[in-house]
Amino acid sequence: MPLTPLTETQQSILDLARGFAADEITPHAAQWDRDAHFPREVAARMGELGFLGMLIPEEYDGLGLDTLSYLLALETIAAADASTAVLMSVHNSLPTQMLLHFGSDAQRERYLKPMARGEMIGAFALSEPEAGSDASSLRCQAVRSDDGASWLLSGTKSWVTSGTFADVIMVMARTDTPDARRGSKGISAFIVTPDLPGFHVGKKEDKMGLRASPTVQLNFDGLRVPAENLLGTEGQGFVYAMRSLDNGRLGIAAQALGIAQAALDHSLDYAGQRKQFKQPIRDFQAIQFKLADMAARIESARALLHATAAAKDRGETITQYGSMSKLLASETAMWVTTQAVQIFGGYGYVKEYPVEKLFRDAKITEIYEGTSEIQRIVIARELYATRGPA
Ligand code: CAA
C-alpha cells in the first residue's frame, strides 16, 4: 500500500478498516449489490468503530484524526464495497464538515455529535434535475414564513446518496426572490430532517453501479424548516457547499483508488491461476504490461492524493489539488477496471467473478461530486488565476 510511511495511529486505523472490511463487508457485498439494498445496521456498526466521525474533533464526539488516516480507511472499505464507501465519504466530507465549520454551537450539539457517533447518518442535497454541473442554477426555493419562525422549501433535489435512510440532510436552496436573483449569492444551506412536514422521499434510481447505495430524489412541498436550521449566514450556502466539495473530492478519489486496487489484486490472482497455451497468462508480456501499467497508475494517483491530504492538514487551500486527485484517481479506476475485465476475458463479463462489479462501480467516480470535465475546469481556472491576466 502507500509509499508514505505511516504513523502508529495510521497503521492501526488501516488494520481496523482491513479487519472490518474482511469480516463484515466482503462476504456480503455481492449480495447487497444483487438486492440493491444496503443494511442500515452496517452503518451503525461503522459508527461504533468510529468510521463516521473520523475528521470530527473529539470535543464533538469524533476521533479527530488526520486526513490520511481517513483516506486509508475509506480506500480499504471501498476495495471491499464501493457502496459502503460512498456512505462513509459523503457523511464524513460533506454534511458533517459543513456543520463543523459553519454551524452554530447549538447545531453542532444537536446534529454533529450524534453524526460523529454514527447514530445519525448524513446526506447532501445540492443537485437538482436541471442543475447538475451548473450547481448554482438550482431552483429549490426557500421562503421565510410570515412570523419569521421558519422557512418553507419547495422543489426537487436529485442524486441524494443515502437518501432513503439519512437522518440529517444538508439542503442548498434559494433564499433570493424571483424579482431579485443573486446567482450563487442567493443560495443558503439548511439542516433538514425527514420528520419535518412536507418532506417526501421520491424516485429511487435504478443504477448501473453502486447498486446497494440508495440514491434518491427528495421532493419538498412547502417543507417547513425551523429558522434555527439555517446554516451559517444567509446567501453563503453555495460557498459552504463548494468548500465542502473540495474535501469530498478527496474521499471520492480514495474510493476510486480502492476500486482500482481491488481490480489489480483480483487480476494478479487470476493471471497467476489461469492457464492458456500451457502457461499461466501472467507469463505473457501482454498481461505483464497491463498489470505493470495498472500498478503504476494507481501508485501515482495515490501519491498525489496523499500529498494533497498532507497539504490540507497544513491548512492550505486544496481546491486545485483536490480536483486533480479526484480526476486522476477516478480516470485511473475506470481504466484499471477496464484492463481487469480484459484480463479476465469472458469471466470478467459475468457476475460470478468480482471485476464485473468493480467495472460498474468505477464509472460513477468520474461523474459524481463533479464530473471529470468540471474537475478540469476547476484546475484550469486555478492555473489561470496563478498566471494572472492573459
Ligand atoms: N471554495 C470556496 N469558494 C468557492 C469554491 C471553492 N472550491 N468554488 C467556488 N467558490 C465561490 C467563488 O469564489 C464564488 O464566490 P465569489 O462570487 O464571492 O467570488 C462563488 O463560489 C461562485 O463561484 P463560481 O463563479 O466559480 O461558480 P460557477 O457557477 O461558475 O460554478 C463550478 C463553479 C466549479 C462549476 C461549480 O458549479 C461546481 O463545482 N459544479 C459541480 C457541482 C458538483 O460537484 N455537484 C456534485 C453534487 S454532490 C453529489 O454528487 C451527490 C452525492 O451525494 C455524492
What pLDDT, on the 0 to 100 scale, is given for residue 390? Answer: 79
Task: Evaluate: CB of 372 within 6 angstroms of ligand 1.
Answer: no
User: Measured in angstroms, how far is the CA atom of residue 110 from the centroid of ligand 1?
Assistant: 28
Bridge-based pairing state of the strands 168-174 and 122-125:
parallel
Ligand 1 atom nearest to 134, measured from its CA: 37
3-state SS class at 267: helix
Q: For the chain, what percentages of helix, strand and coil (3-state, to nearest 5) are there?
A: 55, 15, 25
Task: Please report, as a single letter, which amino acid is at residue 337.
Answer: T
Q: What count of other Cβ atoms lies within 10 Å of the Cβ of residue 198?
A: 15
Cβ of 239 below 6 Å from ligand 1:
yes
Give the C-alpha separation, 94 to 251, whole Å. Answer: 10
**Which segments of 112-236 does DSSP mark as H helices, in order?**
113-116
For residue 124, give Cα distances in angstroms to 60, 91, 93, 99, 333.
20, 8, 10, 12, 24
What is residue 235's predicted lDDT score, i.e. its pLDDT? 98
Percent of the chain with pLDDT over 90: 97
Cβ atoms of 123 and 265 closer than 8 Å? no
Asked if residue 238 has its Cβ within 6 Å of ligand 1, the reply is yes
pLDDT of residue 2: 63
Q: Which band of pLDDT confidence, cut at 50, 70 and 90, is reported for residue 4?
A: confident
- Whether 382 shows a pLDDT value over 70: the answer reads yes
pTM for this predicted structure: 0.97
Q: Per-residue pLDDT tens for 22-71?
A: 999 999 999 999 999 999 999 999 999 999 999 999 999 999 999 999 99
| Run of H or E including 72 | helix 67-80
Lowest mean pLDDT: which of 177-181, 261-265, 340-344? 177-181
Q: Where are any strands of DSSP class E within the chain?
A: 122-125, 141-144, 150-161, 168-174, 187-192, 199-204, 215-226, 230-231, 275-276, 279-280
- Can you give the pLDDT at residue 27? 98
Measured from the Cα of 215, ligand 1's closest atom is 53
Of the chain, the percentage scoring pLDDT greater than 70 comes to 99
- Nearest alpha carbon, ligand 1 atom 26: 378
pLDDT in tens, 184-243: 999 999 999 999 999 999 999 999 999 999 999 999 999 999 999 999 999 999 999 999
CATH of the domain spanning 8-116: 1.10.540.10
* Residue bearing the CA closest to ligand 1, atom 15: 239
Please state the domain extents for the chain: 8-116, 122-236, 239-387
Contact at 8 Å (CB) between 355 and 348? yes
Cβ–Cβ under 8 Å, residues 72 and 2: yes
Mean pLDDT of 70-75: 98
Q: Mean of the pLDDT values across residues 274-294?
A: 98
CB 68 within 8 A of CB 4: yes
Active site residue 369: yes
The residue contributing the CA closest to ligand 1 atom 47 is 369
Q: Which residue has the cell 442535497?
A: 125
Residue 159 beta carbon below 6 angstroms from any ligand 1 atom: yes
> In which element (H, E) is residue 277 found?
none
Q: How far is the CA of 378 from the centre of ligand 1 (A)?
A: 9
pLDDT of 389 reads 83
User: Is ligand 1 within 6 A of the CB of residue 368?
Assistant: yes
Q: Which grid cell is 33? A: 449489490
Nearest atom, ligand 1, residue 252 CA:
54
Average pLDDT over residues 263-280: 98
| Ligand 1 mutation pick, 242, 371, 378, max ligand atoms within 8 A of CB | 242
Q: Please tell me the distance from the alpha carbon of residue 116 to that of residue 58, in angstroms, as a whole number.
A: 9
**Tens of pLDDT, residues 101-151:** 999 999 999 999 999 999 999 999 999 999 999 999 999 999 999 999 999
In CATH terms, the superfamily for domain 122-236 is: Butyryl-CoA Dehydrogenase, subunit A, domain 2 (2.40.110.10)
| Domain 239-387 annotated CATH 1.20.140.10 | yes
Q: Give me ligand 1 centre to Cα 131, in Å.
A: 12
User: What is the DSSP-derived secondary structure letter of residue 6?
Assistant: P
